[in-house]
Amino acid sequence: MRTQVAIVGAGPAGLLLSHLLHTRGIDSVVLESRDRSYVERRQRAGLLEQGTADILRDSGVGGRLDREGLVHEGLELRFGGAGHRIPLTELTGRTVTVYAQTEIVKDLIAERLSAGGDLRFESEVVAVDPSAPSVTFRKDGRTHTLDCDVIAGCDGFHGVCRPAVPTLRTFERDYPYGWLGILADVPPSTDELIYCHHERGFALHSLRSPTISRLYLQVPHDEDIARWPDERIWEELSTRFAVDSGWRLKDGQILEKGITPMRSFVAEPMRHDRLFLAGDAAHIVPPTGAKGLNLAVSDVTMLAEALVEMAEIGSEALLDSYSDNCLKRAWRAEHFSYWMTTLLHTDPSENAFGRRLRLSHLDYVVSSRAAATTLAENYVGFPL
């Protein structure tokens, strides 16, 4: 078997890369270890920078996004019993859109299959060869080899592609807390996301649709989900979100719940020979800044342009600069995500002095237009 680009992983990064290459006449094969049903059910982030939404629209897969996505022009920082709106669009001229990653994956799978794309689910990649580029995978009890010109490692943090880079350097930070996240069958209690700092810990009110809410609580990183029955979750959310204005949190049936640890991680370089890493295979951000999916989209957009340049005019200039260009953007997102995380969460090891510094910083962000603009322009994302 042979293709131009072998793509490992059918998450949003791998699927979007395959789609972008198809629109420019470049063949690819996508290999995914899980079955299609599992891939289409995975719950992940759901906040799109304007640049990400524009890429999906411009490439022809934004129809349902435009019909169902919730466009936001601001967000709320809540602390000290009061809410403070950050007017994202007024400060930057850009917006963000709430549209679940699960739906993006469904849209991309449907598009690739309708266009005759080669998506191979339940195909476990066991080895990649970056030098004489090929991918070895198992499917239906048999081992196969796929020869190619380039390998795109879009197989996430636990995939096989990153370990195939021999000169890899990694940088990471683990946080002493995690997020207890719920998906609830209840209309959102807000029109825009609420990021809340409370002495008991961080809370986030997000949205999935006009009838479904997504909410999060800061908990210890090793917390046992069994300690959080539904009643306790709603009580704690109401306590942390409470404001003097009388605003009330709506509660309802919890459809899903789980605990996610928080980590910052970057691998350098993102290329070795004919293997190129993208998305979570190369970098992980804590979810506070909503950058993980958006970084993956920017990675594969740059990789697609580089591969098109190589195919059309024989130049590898963009391929040679791919890692540096992606890492520059990744480190900016890492810093913003770290800043948002440490600003809004309660550190269990922190003393009273540190807590007062955090409140002072929050007050500065909501009272200074310059500080609010810094938050806003990072949050809505920088153009590619």
Please identify every residue annotated as catalytic: 72, 195, 287, 291, 379
User: How many Å apart are CA 223 and CA 238, to the nearest integer?
Assistant: 20
The alpha-helical segments, DSSP class H, found in the chain are: 12-23, 36-41, 50-58, 63-68, 88-92, 101-114, 230-241, 292-313, 317-344, 352-367, 369-380
**Phi and psi at residue 353, to the nearest 5°:** -60, -45
Pair 284, 1: CB distance under 8 Å: no
Q: How many CB atoms lie within 10 A of CB 110?
A: 13
Strand pairing of 169-185 and 253-268?
A: antiparallel
User: How many Å apart are CA 100 and CA 65, to the nearest integer?
Assistant: 9
158 contacts: CB under 8 Å, gap ≥ 6: none
Tokens of 60: 């022809």
From its phi and psi, is residue 246 left (phi > 0), alpha (psi between -120 and 50) or beta? left
